[in-house]
Structures are given as structure tokens and as C-alpha cells.
Structure 1
Amino acid sequence: MLRGPMGRTPGRVQQVLVIGGYEPEYVEVSPGLLGFRSALTPVLGVAVDDERRVLTLQ
């Protein structure tokens, strides 16, 4: 699950993309129920809550 800075949920995380290293650089987010569209979000502005399994945009 991905949450925006105001607590809204823009969508579910489909993939975490690692490009050229070991650290994630982008997450692929599917905003719709059917998952036909997706958007890439940079990980630089994301906080991770492992316990709740939530990524929060900063």
C-alpha cells in the first residue's frame, strides 16, 4: 500500500524497481481497481513502515 503525505491512498504498489544497484529507485503504483494503468514514483521521498507494510510519500 502507498500513502500520500496527507494520508490518502493513491494506489497499491505493484513492483519495486531496482536500477543499476541494490537500492530501490522507483515503485510502480496501480491506482485503479483493475490495474490497467500504473505510474512510477521515485523512492527518494518515501518512508517505509515494515510493521504495517505501508510506503508513505514525504
Structure 2
Amino acid sequence: MLYSAEALRVGRRAKFTFYALLLECLCFCVAFFEQYFYRYAINTPSLLKSEGVFYFY
């Protein structure tokens, strides 16, 4: 019984670590694409900005 409780705790910790790593990867990808689109929006002509595609910039 003690072994199963320990295994359950280790499994839960592994799942938590997996989700934390996934969340960190997601945040990294969002930050990377934000920088990429920010540079892309700076280099686009003003016509595309006036169309409202990059309205928030």
C-alpha cells in the first residue's frame, strides 16, 4: 500500500512537471511569435496597417 501511494505521488509529480514544461514552451512560442510579428508589422507598408491587419500596433 505504501508503494502504491508513493508511485501515485511520483506519477502526479511527473504529470505536473510535464504540464509546467508544456506551459513554459507555450509561453516561449507566444513570445517568439510576438517578436516575429512585431518586426514583420514594422516592416510592412502602411497600406496593410490601414487595412486593420496590424491595427493594435
TM-score for the superposition, normalised by structure 1: 0.21
Between the two structures, name the one with larger relative contact order (CA 8 Å, sep ≥ 6): 1
Higher helix share: 2
In our comparison, the structure showing a higher alpha carbon Rg is 2
TM-score by length of 2: 0.21
